[in-house]
Chain A
Amino acid sequence: MIKFFLMVNKQGQTRLSRYYEHVEIHKRTMLEAEVIKNCLSRSKDQCSFIEYKDFKLVYRQYAALFVVVGINETENEMAVYELIHNFVEVLDKYFSRVVSETLNLLQSIYSLSKL
């Protein structure tokens, strides 16, 4: 099951967040900060799956933007990894260029909920 879907930039600002299970608002900010910290400290030699607490993070970097998905053990990591790419491609086609400044939030959320 996908627990959450985040798009965070290198400065640590959350551009898009979607939670699929209930998480308190103040816990969300903590979670997002920790998650981006984990991702930023990764190098090229390391794999795209991070073991975090009792679940996993699958992340993928696109220029200055990180897409991070939290999953539990029922999901196939590789499939989710490609799902991220699929989503980014969809956004790309829809908005012609995925750049964090011009991300149209409403539409992104809408497409995400459709996916």
Chain B
Amino acid sequence: NEEGCKSKEAEIKRINKELANIRSKFKGDKALDGYSKKKYVCKLLFIFLLGHDIDFGHMEAVNLLSSNRYTEKQIGYLFISVLVNSNSELIRLINNAIKNDLASRNPTFMGLALHCIANVGSREMAEAFAGEIPKILVAGDTMDSVKQSAALCLLRLYRTSPDLVPMGDWTSRVVHLLNDQHLGVVTAATSLITTLAQKNPEEFKTSVSLAVSRLSRIVTSASTDLQDYTYYFVPAPWLSVKLLRLLQCYPPPEDPAVRGRLTECLETILNKAQEPPKSKKVQHSNAKNAVLFEAISLIIHHDSEPNLLVRACNQLGQFLQHRETNLRYLALESMCTLASSEFSHEAVKTHIETVINALKTERDVSVRQRAVDLLYAMCDRSNAQQIVAEMLNYLETADYSIREEIVLKVAILAEKYAVDYTWYVDTILNLIRIAGDYVSEEVWYRVIQIVINRDDVQGYAAKTVFEALQAPACHENLVKVGGYILGEFGNLIAGDPRSSPLIQFNLLHSKFHLCSVPTRALLLSTYIKFVNLFPEIKTTIQDVLRSDSQLKNADVELQQRAVEYLRLSTIASTDILATVLEEMPPFPERESSILAKLKKKKGPGTVTDLEEIKKERSSDMNGSAEPASVNASAVVSLKTVLISVVDEVWKFVCKNNGVLFENQLLQIGLKSEFRQNLGRMFIFYGNKTSTQFLNFTPTVICSDDFLNYILCLNLQTKPVDPTVDGGAQVQQVVNIECVSDFMEAPILNIQFRYGGTFQNLSVKLPITLNKFFQPTEMSSQDFFQRWKQLSNPKQEVQNIFKAKHPMDAEITKAKIIGFGSALLEEVDPNPANFVGAGIIHTKTTQIGCLLRLEPNLQAQMYRLTLRTSKEAVSQRLCELLSEQF
């Protein structure tokens, strides 16, 4: 009944006419006979598949299910499989019909029912049938075709509702299906077992030996044996692939007999690849190669037979130069995983020239990408320079979509295999030059970290960066890196008249106006560092800072920096200036964030697993640098953007005592008390080791704008004894005064020497705005009066969020009280809601605050509303409190 319609409108008209006809027939008085019902339901289905919406006919389709005629049943099932309906009444009827068909012992009907369940796979069906189907699957008298369907059906249900398919006695019987005569059953069972074995490997362990013998029989069978399952002279290719997949869920077999058989089998597959083909048709070689690639995949997964691994590598090597692009692609991909095996790593490296060639000549970008991945995987000390050079070359013309990844990879390789760090610096600067836009922050932070940590490369870095900056159009990232490095190490090249201080300054400043705000901010910091390094150009720099474009800059950050630095340069004596602007101490060695970024980009997959293996395999990491002299006096230091700060503030928002930080060496405990706008915090440092800590220096620093900060929060501490004995505890008192409302928590930075190493860690101090919150009791009337008074939209901040903890009313009340607010009972008409009130005390003002927390137990969410007279305060309090629930 295919209509040959000329135009879309004609088609629609025809269809509507037909729909109207069918509708009337369904609604009609006389009951339709089976044949007509089937005809119309079929038409409806067809119309739906053409792309038109159908909203009726389900009932009739369901009726067809109970017919005894195969064709009618078939159409009924087909309809409801394709047009899934969530009407619960219909679902009940459908499930009922299915139940009857499953119990009918008629294999065709059972098959239809199982297919329907498999195709719909809804939760309701899973609930109804997940228990039954395993029984059908393993029953002795079930027909082959039904077994097949049952296995796939169970697989589908497991995928959508794994919790409803419990393991049981049936699992061992399913494993035995692998021995079934009917290869269709074996195929279905293999698919099922492979998925189940991932979550329940113990249950299906016995499938390994059966799978091996099955595979062995297939691979060695003559071409006339498996008639129905031979595809272009390849015996049961898809089944072979599935069996090989199943074997990849388990480690190599322990039983030597099984292992021997498997090795033989794999060797046979590898041998066949070398034999002349039985057919010239491409289907034959494709099928054969599908099995071959899967076999290689298994060999790599086992990683235990050096002979097989090397053979696999050679086979792949042949494919690298094959005519067909598909094979080259798959070979490159496969070889990537092979590169990480220690047995075959060397063998893989021999193909480096072919891979480099692929990089240059392949027309398909996916294939080129595989080549890049492979180069990355096979890289080690012996070929790092060559590979990095090739990758940089490729980068010049690479697709934009893959540049960032290549940049990350080059950065990682350069760092890992640098013998000579000047090469490393050159490589990164090249990266910035070629693909500056794709050089993420992690990459250039890292180069700075490394330059700072290694004395031997600082001079070279300063010189190279200086030269690079001379280029008329250099990338902004280069300005950032250059600015920072010259700020720290410009003195190392200042002796040469070509890179005198004034020339350095002018060079940087010439780029200033072309840069974005963050870069300019960095440059301003460099300028103040120059004031310290090169007093002879102090006035020049001051003039720049003093200029209107800086002091009256529209951007707050820039303006602030200009003002502060100018002031600092004028009032500070040279000593203080030198201390404040002292060279950056080395960073603690820790995992490169670049690796983390690459992992995030690639997601799960073979390449990132290689990272883990590479890390373990890599010979020597960067040796830990000798620390520069430590700042002994407690001084406020500037933006410490590159040290990671431990943030446990949220834990202490509603309580005042507890352990703030702990690692193997040190434990930091807190005990604090607050009253009005004052507070006192006792910090206890416990030495967990038996060795003394020397030069123990805890410093409280402010994260961002320090001058601004002092205006908000006044912290005073006395220095602590710099020697902490093993097992001892020292105490530090911090006196706190809240001058005005503040947003950021201060940071506690601790440095000390332990044994031969230098320790440096930073942790946020949980001094938050709500600590200065005093509860205020008030009546319902007063509360609502004040609530109305604060009705300016700027004064209210609301947050709707998901509950992180169980929504217990008593605990919630305790937290609100711990927060500092008064808990007002019987104020909100809804008893489930929580209402609170309090006053924030600062030295200069008092800010009244009202809060309301509305839980939604069903959705496991909360709505929190804060109203205060100051927008920033509402914001901060809402932020702090939202985290607690």
Contact = CB atoms under 8 A, between A and B. Distances in A.
Contacts of A48: 325-326
B712 interface: no
Nearest to A105: B49
Interface string B26-54: 00000000000000001001100110000
Contact of A49 (B42, B231, B294, B326): B326
Contact of A76 (B293, B325, B326, B369): B293
A105 B330 contact: no
A82 B287 CA distance: 6
Interface in B108-141: 115, 118-119
Contacts of A110: 78
A79 B294 contact: yes
B713 interface: no
A8 to B, nearest CB: 13
Interface string B267-306: 0000000000000000100110110011001000000000
B139 to A, nearest CB: 22
Interface in B33-88: 42, 45-46, 49-50, 78, 81-82
Interface stretch (A39-47, A62-70, A92-100): A39-47
B193 interface: no
A79 B78 CA distance: 28
Q: What band does the interface of chain A fall in when counting residues whose beta carbon is under 8 Å from B?
A: 20 to 34
A81 B231 CA distance: 13
B363 A43 contact: yes
Contacts of A86: 231
Nearest to A43: B363
A18 to B, nearest CB: 9
Interface string A95-114: 00000001011100110011
B364 interface: yes
15 contacts: A47-B329, A47-B364, A76-B294, A76-B297, A77-B330, A78-B286, A78-B290, A78-B330, A79-B237, A82-B283, A82-B286, A102-B2, A106-B42, A109-B78, A113-B118
A82 B329 contact: no
- Dominant secondary structure of chain B at its interface with chain A: helix
Contact of B605 (A47, A73, A83, A105): A73
B367 interface: yes
B787 interface: no
Contacts of B237: 79, 82
Contacts of B2: 102, 104
Interface of B: 2, 42, 45-46, 49-50, 78, 81-82, 115, 118-119, 159, 231, 237-238, 241, 245, 283, 286-287, 289-290, 293-294, 297, 325-326, 328-330, 363-364, 366-367, 369, 603, 605
A47 B325 contact: yes
A86 B284 CA distance: 12
Contact of B366 (A1, A43, A47, A104): A47
A46 B287 CA distance: 20
B552 to A, nearest CB: 48
B366 A74 contact: no
Nearest to B42: A106
A82 B366 contact: no
A24 interface: no
A104 B363 CA distance: 38
A113 B115 contact: yes
A51 interface: yes
Nearest to A104: B2
A70 B153 CA distance: 21
Contacts of B115: 113-114
A73 B603 CA distance: 12
A91 interface: no
A14 B605 CA distance: 31
A110 B111 CA distance: 13
B325 A82 contact: no
Contacts of B364: 45-47
A48 B330 CA distance: 11
Contacts of A113: 81, 115, 118-119
A79 B238 contact: yes
Most buried by B among A74, A79, A105, A114: A79
B328 A83 contact: no
A20 to B, nearest CB: 9
Given A49-B326, A54-B603, A102-B2, A82 B46 contact: no
Nearest to B53: A25
Contacts of A50: 366
